[in-house]
Amino acid sequence: MQELEKLYKEIQPKIFAFFYVKVQDRSIAEELTQDVFYQAVKGFHSFSGKSTLKTWIFSIANNRLKTYYRSKKYARSLNEKMTLQTEQHQISPEESFIHKEEYYRLQTHLEQLRSSLREIVILRLYGELSFKEIGELVSQSENYVRLAFHRAKIKLKKEMREKDE
């Protein structure tokens, strides 16, 4: 349990970033992050040690995200977000748009990736997991994940460059 407490400080921002990228809402990302660590503490006795503790916690996060997506709360949140974005586009100051433009461009290109590639990129960039840890989470070899990430990165750079021209 002490190992989990020590890891919390290191991994909590990464888990939060993982959720934030997925749900695009700070309060929901915070709530989901809190749920993950609650589940980890509650289920720590079931940790078998077959993977690293970090990988185990990310698998809890992945499962929690799936549960969230299936919930009615997600549908309600998505609807509110779409309504809010529509309202913001009408009254939003130009500065706000400029600050967020690059982030949204990346998100748009990420969404166009095949879901398995998108998952690898998000876990690597926002979760800061090693290729080995990602491989364990997505049931692929470390080399497969490394190559997939490299190809996705090249594709994203190319697409973002093309949009600039």
Domains in the chain: ranges and CATH = 1-92 (1.10.1740.10), 94-165 (1.10.10.10)
Q: How far apart, in whole angstroms, are the C-alpha atoms of residue 76 and residue 81?
A: 9
| Contact partners, residue 57, CB within 8 Å, separation at least 6 | 7, 11, 15, 36, 37, 40
In this prediction, residue 102 carries a pLDDT of 67
The model's confidence at residue 112, banded by pLDDT at 50, 70 and 90, is confident
125 burial level (CB within 10 Å; 0-12, 13-18, 19+): middle
Token representation of residue 115: 């879901």
Q: Which of 96-100, 116-120, 143-147 has the lowest mean pLDDT?
A: 96-100
Which one, of 19, 18, 36, 11, lies nearest residue 126 by Cα? 18
Q: Is the pTM of this model over 0.75?
A: no
Q: Is the pLDDT of residue 27 over 50?
A: yes
In this prediction, residue 160 carries a pLDDT of 72
Task: Encode pLDDT of 123-149 as tens digits.
Answer: 888 888 889 989 998 999 999 999 999
Task: Encode pLDDT of 47-94 as tens digits.
Answer: 888 888 889 999 999 999 888 887 766 556 555 555 555 444 454 555
Token representation of residue 67: 């549960």
